[in-house]
A and B are shown apart, each in its own frame.
Chain A
């Protein structure tokens, strides 16, 4: 079945460091891909998405590119801030379906 595998956490970085959180997926056909974020004490919220191959999603300085050839959707940010500390979830929606299939999440901590 469809699945998402993310980089194991936790990840700890210093402020202004470069961030990459790896995400790969297994799916039939071409799913839509998402990154969701859960800030401390808050609910899940959509960070960015891409719906077809080579699309780049971006928001709040974060980017991820839909790579069909490597079945990946890695999350990147050039200079992280303390306020980026959160749990990040990679997810997909299978083609023709509405449900989200999530990875296990990666906890990110940014130190000042």
Chain B
């Protein structure tokens, strides 16, 4: 079946603009995760959804970052007033409900803030 998909694959925006990044998880996966990967670093956790609710948002760096998953499937990561430091690859992953189950990662969205 289809894997995790993310759109767009690349996004270039100007400092101060608003962006939305989309994630389509594997069908039937109730858990969804967002991570951010800066150049030369490992992915850094942002937020975790179980169903429609954010079960852990402890990794969101500040209130410019927000994520939603209104129907328990597709998720959108929203970044307001973008800054150059937000430039990174944003990764989405999904897994089944079973605790500790493998997380399947999407290809990522490369965000560049100019």
- Interface residue ranges, A against B (CB under 8 Å): 4, 32, 42-46, 49, 51, 89, 91, 93, 97-105
Contacts and interface: CB of A to CB of B under 8 A. Distances in A.
Interface residues of B, number: 28
Interface stretch (B21-29, B78-86, B100-108): B100-108
A43 B107 contact: yes
Contact of B102 (A4, A46, A101, A103): A46
Given A45-B104, A46-B102, 19 more contacts: A4-B42, A32-B100, A43-B91, A43-B105, A43-B107, A44-B105, A49-B102, A51-B100, A93-B100, A98-B31, A98-B48, A98-B95, A99-B59, A100-B45, A101-B45, A103-B42, A104-B40, A104-B41, A105-B40
Interface in B36-50: 40-45, 48, 50
8 nearest CB pairs, A to B? A102-B42, A44-B105, A99-B45, A43-B105, A43-B107, A46-B102, A104-B42, A102-B43
28 contacts: A4-B42, A43-B91, A43-B105, A43-B108, A44-B43, A44-B93, A44-B105, A45-B104, A46-B103, A89-B43, A91-B42, A97-B56, A98-B31, A98-B48, A98-B56, A98-B99, A99-B48, A99-B56, A99-B59, A100-B33, A100-B43, A100-B103, A101-B45, A104-B40, A104-B41, A104-B42, A105-B40, A105-B41
